């Protein structure tokens, strides 16, 4: 899966978790928590959806690597099954 496809998948998951948020104009280099009203439970839901939908395990120590959309894509691209 290429980085753009990974980005689309991540945004789809965020949109499903943060139903009231507009995810169409997310900035890649700004913290997702600064752009969206995400609490720690929402963040865990996003991690759980990655596991459920794509079989991607994100260890707790790697959670900071999912802070921005760009860092999510960079971290997750090699983990997506091709």
Q: What is the CATH number of the domain that holds 35?
A: 1.10.1200.10
pLDDT higher at 38 or 68: 68
pTM of the model: 0.90
Backbone angles phi, psi at 38, to 5 degrees: -105, 130
Mean pLDDT (whole number) for 8-36: 93
d(CA 9, CA 52): 13
The residue range of the domain holding 43 is: 3-79
Mutual orientation of helices 69-76 and 3-17 as an angle, nearest 10°?
A: 120
Flag whether pLDDT at 82 surpasses 70.
Answer: no
Q: What's the pLDDT at 60?
A: 94
pLDDT at 45 over 80: yes
- The count of domains in the chain is 1
Distance of alpha carbon 16 from alpha carbon 60, whole angstroms: 22
Can you count the helices (H) and strands (E) in the chain? 4, 0
Strand partners, 31: 68
Residues designated as active site? 39
Higher pLDDT, residue 29 or 20:
29
């Amino acid at each position: 899966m290429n980085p753009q496809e990974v980005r689309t998948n991540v945004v789809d998951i965020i949109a499903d978790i943060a139903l009231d948020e507009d995810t169409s104009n997310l900035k890649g280099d700004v913290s997702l928590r600064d752009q969206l009203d995400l609490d720690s439970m929402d963040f865990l839901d996003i991690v759980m959806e990655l596991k459920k939908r794509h079989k991607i395990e994100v260890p707790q120590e790697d959670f900071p690597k999912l802070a921005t959309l760009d860092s999510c894509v960079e971290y997750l691209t090699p983990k997506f099954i091709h």
